Amino acid sequence: MSRWLINIYLLGVKELRSLFADPILLFLIFYMFSFAIYAVATGAKTEIGNAAVAYVDLDQSALTGRIVDAILPPEFEAPQRIALSEVDGVMDRGEFVFVLSFPPRFEADVLSGAHPSLQMNVDATAMTQAGNGSVYLQTIIASEIERFVTGDDTSSNLPIDLVVTAHFNPNLQSIWFNSVMQIINNITILAILLTGAALIREREHGTIEHLLVMPVNATEIMLAKICANGLVIVVGAILSLWLVVQGWLQVPIAGSIPLFVAGTILYLVSVTGLGILLATFTTSMPQFGLLVMPVLVIMNLLSGSTTPIESIPFWLQAIMQGSPSTHFIAFSQAILYRGAGFDTVWPDMLVMAILSTVFFAISLMRFRQTMAGSQ
């Protein structure tokens, strides 16, 4: 047993030396856990911000002026007045996301109870802004009309006092979600890339033949690659959570980081094994990259990281339960967003442990076949 552990340790040290001698991979790791987190967190916002608004005012009344004045930054840019004949042109060119058209006698019809129509043209190619911004504008318009008609800026006709409380992200800032989610996604990406690249590097440099004549077996070689690359990823993720997310972006972490690390280690066994498995079907880094890309796209898009898992078809949900990334994302979100403890996340940890065993066994079997074919 001691000889087995020593072999894994020495092979792991060899893996770390090979990794640290590769400046491209080192830069990739640094970038993925630093600038990539910041860029996605601050750039890929889902809330409405600085949306361009234009309006056509055929009424030119106090009410239309009041509505226009209520459309304010930072959600919207200052509304610009255009002519009715310009609407189609500015929408086709994508100059504005929203164009409001106030008909003649709009204020008079409102006051007389004639229920006039107010047209809102929306550029729905800007999907996030179109959806959220339409709701914002409808709320603004309804509120201003009600205040104008009643003459009371504090009045409300609602029979209830509706109080909205947002848990875990009280200001609904997408940066809180995107920054942490990007770390979770990057763990998957790097785990597959680093372990796969480690095996490809052995082939390209001809060192796989050296390993075959040494007193080590396939299990020791594979475990060394998993442990060495997994260690680098875990350390990078912890530093990114502390320095980038909590320090640079000022995003709070709700739950236990040690518990998150424990689950990450379980997850890495399966996903690093997947990286080795994919690498056994290729002979060069370009082939490996082409094979990895569709796998990563499916794992990231359909595992609940981008949209809730409940939003995809039921049959696809059932298939994705066999992906360790689905359970890792649920596990990570529960801890880092909602502060869940072990009593809440243990089912996901159990499933990850089972899937890790299955993926490791399949990868090891394929890896042995590949090594036997190299002899």
State the Cα–Cα distance between residues 343 and 89, nearest whole angstrom: 58
pLDDT score of 309: 84
Average pLDDT over every residue of 2-15: 87
pLDDT score of 234: 96
Q: Does 362 lie in the same domain as 233?
A: yes
Query: Which of the two residues, 44 and 94, has the higher pLDDT score?
Result: 94
Q: Does 225 lie in the same domain as 146?
A: no
Closest CA relative to residue 231, chosen from 5, 19, 7, 1: 19
State the Cα–Cα distance between residues 212 and 218, nearest whole angstrom: 9
Q: Does 358 lie in the same domain as 227?
A: yes
Extract the tokens encoding 347: 């089912």
Q: Does 13 lie in the same domain as 60?
A: no
Number of Cβ within 10 Å of residue 285's Cβ equals 16
- The answer as to whether 164 is a domain residue is no
Q: Does 263 lie in the same domain as 114?
A: no
Q: Does 97 lie in the same domain as 16?
A: no
pLDDT digits (tens, 9 = 90+) for 276-304: 999 988 888 889 989 999 999 888 888 88
- The answer as to whether 159 is a domain residue is no
Q: Does 211 lie in the same domain as 111?
A: no
- The answer as to whether 162 is a domain residue is no
- The answer as to whether 227 is a domain residue is yes
Q: Does 227 lie in the same domain as 364?
A: yes
Q: Taking the model in full, what pTM does it have?
A: 0.82
Question: Dihedrals φ, ψ of 281, to 5°?
Answer: -95, 0
Is residue 352 a contact partner of residue 324, using CB atoms and an 8 Å limit?
yes
Closest CA relative to residue 193, chosen from 225, 147, 158, 240: 225
Q: Does 16 lie in the same domain as 81?
A: no
- The answer as to whether 347 is a domain residue is yes
Average pLDDT over every residue of 203-231: 82
Average pLDDT over every residue of 82-110: 92
- The answer as to whether 163 is a domain residue is no
pLDDT score of 373: 63
pLDDT score of 50: 85
State the Cα–Cα distance between residues 371 and 360, nearest whole angstrom: 16
* 74 prior amide bond cis, ω within 30: yes
Q: What is the SS3 assignment for 100?
A: strand
User: Regarding beta strands 98-102 and 119-122, do their DSSP bridges make them parallel or antiparallel, or are they unpaired?
Assistant: antiparallel
Q: Does 215 lie in the same domain as 283?
A: yes
Q: Does 198 lie in the same domain as 62?
A: no
- The answer as to whether 336 is a domain residue is yes
Number of domains in the chain: 2
Listed residues 119, 150, 181: the one ending a domain: 150
Is residue 9 a contact partner of residue 225, using CB atoms and an 8 Å limit?
no
User: Regarding beta strands 80-81 and 53-57, do their DSSP bridges make them parallel or antiparallel, or are they unpaired?
Assistant: parallel
Q: Does 200 lie in the same domain as 99?
A: no
Q: Is the pLDDT of residue 331 over 60?
A: yes
Question: Dihedrals φ, ψ of 333, to 5°?
Answer: -65, -40
Residue 103's CATH number:
3.40.1710.10
- The answer as to whether 167 is a domain residue is no
Q: Give the residue numbers spanning the domain of 299.
A: 2-44+173-374
% residues pLDDT > 70 (the chain): 95
